Structure 1
Amino acid sequence: MELGIGMFGDLSIDPQTGKPREAKVKLHEILEQIKLADEVGLDVFGLGEHHRPDYAVSAPEIVLAAAASITKNIKLTSTVTVLSSAEPVKVYQDFSTIDLISNGRAEIGVGRGSFIESFPLFGYDLKNYNQLFEEKLDLLLNINNNEVVNWTGELRAPMVNQMVLPRAVNNGKLPIWIAVGGTPESVLRAAKLGLPLIVAIIGGMPKQFQPLIEFYKQEYVKHGHDVTKMQIGIHSHSFVSDAEADLDKYYSNYAAQMDRIGATRGWAPYTKAQYNGGRSKEGALFIGESAAVVDKILYMHELFGITRFIGHMDVGDPSHKEMMKAIELFGTKVAPEVRAGLL
């Protein structure tokens, strides 16, 4: 199983001024954190795209390109690129460039987007939400497989004998993962195409996702894909500290960010009971001491047969010092014990 860290670049809000902290500082911190994740032997780092004042990262590919020059082994992926409001040609060019800089370590995670700010920002109509993703995914896969592209759709101009350059290291092909939030239609699409699946499990009980992942496995085989190449991952909110007081303190960071998001979605205020329930064995939060996080990841492997786990670690913008310690623990304690537990 591959083990990694994910981030969105959360920016905490100053309670006195109501303003988020400086994005410039956060971006430099993220680069230091990616460098550490590489140094402690983690397999993958993922960075997501948002277009809100409480997130520092609107262009993951730029940050990942910077990270490519200061890391040696870790895979660099988007978690996710909102493909519905992106240009597939540019997405491929950006990530193939990262791939060349990093000597073949770039991947793309694509999704429809649970945040919709990018659609009006880039001039897309939300009534085309599903069709945009289907067409753009089809074009991105065409580009990934062909240096000279011929493609026709309804929502974009056709491509006729057009070259897309530069090409990625592995015969021009980049790993492309489909990221889903739990809809069967999205899972079925990934299975039909034989693409790796990563499921965001950030609430409720992970066990509830078991039928969905079994559905993916069945459809993947049904559509003639090689089961030995099947890849399934989960992406869940995580934080590691071997001091329970720090984990208790982290609740305030976590709740503040969940409430900011919830205010736009009609959620009730986040409670300590939800936090503690999420941290339990059956909950969706991988927030705990090293041994507890190890046990929970191994439990996910038992439930789903996952080949990748990404711990999303910067929810609520913990301090840089806390993040560095959490990443160090994840790499030096959690990852080795999970790997040993899988032998």
Structure 2
Amino acid sequence: MEIGITSFVETTPDVQTGEVMSHAQRLREVVEEIVLADQVGLDVFGIGEHHRKDYAASSPAMVLAAAAPLTKRIRLTSAVTVLSSADPVRVFQDFATLDGISNGRAEIMAGRGSFIESFPLFGYDLNDYDELFEEHLELLLKIQASEKVTWRGGHRPAIQNLGVYPRPVQNPLPIWIGSGGNQESVVRAGLLGLPLMLAIIGGSPRQFEPLVQLYKKVAMHAGHDVSRLTVGSHSLGFVAEETELAADTFFPSTQAGMNKIGRERGWAHYNRASFDAARSLEGALYVGDPETVAQKIIHLRKQVGMTRFMMYVPISTMPHEQVMRAIELLGTEVAPRVREEITKWEAETE
């Protein structure tokens, strides 16, 4: 069971002071968070790509590369790379470069993205949303498989027997599919035998169990070794010494972030009742003391089948020291509990 952190590197107004930190400061902070995650034994850190004023990480590979020489074992991934509006050649080059700097710890998580600002920014038509992703993923996988590439599509100039460099340390460079739970994305990942990351930020994680089973069924029929496939969950969470302290600390920024996005997308108002309901064992919010959070992750593994858990913290601006403490507790107290329990459970069920 792999455990890690996801960050979108937010620069939203502080809910207490209204102050907005600079992009530069937030970028430096997230590098410190990655370094700490490595030091406390977490397995992976993911940076999400966004192209808005309230997010600082438009280039996940650059942020991760800044942390790579300062870390030793943690895996470094995008979460996600908005592949529909990105050049697959450049994406591969960036992450192969990261792979070299980190000595084989880079991953690409490819997704369509839930925000659309990158499309007009890079000159893509939203009407081609689905076609672009399929075409760009096809090219990215060709580059992953071969140093020399010949390829033709409908939206990008063709490539005729050209090399793509540098080549990564890992062969192949891991490529994940990131999905919000779209059945088409799950089937695509299964057919291709690619690891799957599901964003589970609402409802009950158990609702995603049929999608996990569909993914495995499709992968098996496509001839892939299901036992080698990885399925992950990206979910909101926060750890503190006591459960109520964790809840009281995490709620204000979570409410601000959820309602900001909610106003853009027409969601219902997010209040404390919604927040507390999601903290239950069957909810999608992983907030509490180390034992509470560990038991929820164990429950997720046993009931849904996840083999990687990514805690998304913070969803909106929080004091840096609070985020650092949550990462420390996740690595030093939550992760050991989860690994021990899952190891025992797997031994008993073999």
The TM-score with structure 2 as length reference comes to 0.95
After the TM superposition, which residues 1-343 of structure 1 pair with which residues of structure 2 at under 5 Å, given as runs?
A: 1-13=1-13, 20-171=20-171, 173-243=172-242, 244-343=244-343
Indicate conservation of the 8 Å contact 1:20/1:54, yes or no.
no
In structure 2, what is the Cα distance between the partners aligned to 1:11 and 1:257? Answer: 11
**What letter matches 2:60 in structure 1?**
P
CA contact (8 A) 2:132 2:155 kept: yes
Distance across 2 between alignment mates of 1:328 and 1:270: 28
Decide whether aligned partners of structure 1 residues 333 and 66 sit closer, same or farther in structure 2, where only a CA change above 3 A counts.
same
Cα RMSD of the aligned pairs, angstroms, is: 1.3
Name the SS for the 1:64 alignment partner. helix
Q: What's the offset of the Cα at 1:247?
A: 2.2
* CA deviation profile, 1:184-236 (whole Å, cap 9, x unmatched): 10100000001001100001111111111111111110111012211111111
SS of residue matched to 2:155: coil
C-alpha distance after superposition, 1:48-97 (max 9, x if no partner):
01111111111111000101111010000000000000000000000000
Residue 263 of structure 1: CA displacement?
A: 1.3
Deviations 1:16-52 (A, max 9, x none): 9977321111111101110000000111110101111
| Mapped partners of 2:241, 2:234: distance in 1 | 22
User: 1:340, 1:305 → 2: CA distance?
Assistant: 17
- How far 1:12 moved relative to its partner? 2.7
Matches of 2:330 and 2:75, distance apart in 1 = 16
Distance 1:135 1:129 in 2: 10
Aligned residues: 342
**Partner letter of residue 166 of structure 2?**
P
How far, CA to CA, are the matches of 2:27 and 2:273 in structure 1? 32
Contact 1:49 1:79 in 2 (8 A): yes
Distance 1:175 1:270, change over 3 A: same
Is 2:240–2:326's contact at 8 Å kept on the other side of the alignment?
A: yes
Separation in structure 1 between the aligned mates of residue 16 and residue 248 of structure 2, nearest angstrom: 23
Q: Cα offset for 1:338?
A: 0.2
Change (3 A) 1:124 1:328: same
SS at match of 2:186: helix
SS at match of 2:11: coil
Distance 2:288 2:278 in 1: 10
Which letter maps to 1:126? L
Residue identity matched to 2:197: I
Alpha-carbon distance in 1 for matches of 2:326, 2:15: 25
Structure 1 unaligned regions, length at least 5: none
Conserved 8 A contact 1:20-1:53: no
From the superposition, tell whether residues 15 and 77 of structure 1 become closer, same or farther in structure 2 (CA, over 3 Å): closer
1:133-161 C-alpha deviation (Å, 9 max, x unpaired) = 00000000000001000011111111001
Give distance in 2, aligned partners of 1:309 and 1:203. 15
Q: For residues 230 and 46 of structure 2, what CA distance do their matches in structure 1 show? A: 16
Say which SS state the counterpart of residue 77 (structure 2) adopts. Answer: strand
Could you say if the C-alpha distance between residues 21 and 217 of structure 1 is closer, same or farther in structure 2, counting changes exceeding 3 Å? same
Please identify, of 239-248 and 288-297, the stretch whose mean Cα deviation from structure 2 is larger: 239-248
Structure 2, unpaired ranges of 5+: 344-350
